[in-house]
Structure 1
Amino acid sequence: PQAGPQPWGQPQPGQPQPGQPWAQPPAGPQQPKSKKPLILGLGALALVVILGIIGVLVVTSLGSKTLDAAAAEAGVAKVLTQSYGATEVGDVSCPDGQKVEPGNSFDCTVTVDGQHRSVTLTFTDDQGTYEVSRPN
């Protein structure tokens, strides 16, 4: 026997009663969200900030746009430890007087974790901001 239409104002079978909340489907097990994208994003932001600070330190205040080797050497050591995870960085040597212009690059020598390596610095703008390559 089929049920006929329900009287007006009466709930249909399977419908919530007046004043009752709608039933929510059961929640399945939730996978924890990975924090890796957040960590990578923060690491990239930190690298940009470090490079921006280094860029300010590199351009001399005399109006000439040349590299201050001492500031660059300190910046290279900081980038290698903070961004590339080197535990011991020393003997950084960069050539002085490099022209600050986008795309200009040059090599610096460095000792990383007891091994002699070189890194390439590449200016990304005319304000002295540069990128440091991985040691090779």
Structure 2
Amino acid sequence: MYDDPSVWELGLIAAIILAASVRDRLESDPDPIEEAKRLYAEGMIDEPELERRIEEAVDDDHEAIRLVVEDVNGVSDSRSKAIAREYDSLDELRASDREKLEGVPGIGEELAEAVLERVRSTGNAE
């Protein structure tokens, strides 16, 4: 009727469980504040960097910048974060020139133009 599971079957079951666990872990984004605290506790970042990351995570202006610039084709999550770190507000970004924006890592001339066009058009709509 029912035979004991073989080593192969047990290994397959363990592999399925492990794969599901890894998938779930990869799909969930870590809380940025908890991640910063973990990195600080492990000595991977210093206190000023911890404070900067926590401030960034709770800063509404930072989030507003990211929401607007992520609508631009070619602005990834990491690029939107880099732009938001460089500017204190949408108004500051709107007033910026292209050359300053090109100084942000990953932002070239065309992308800088597109970002400025986007943030300036949202300023006119408000």
- TM-score (normalised: structure 2): 0.26
* Larger strand fraction of residues: 1
Larger Rg: 1
- TM-score (normalised: structure 1): 0.24
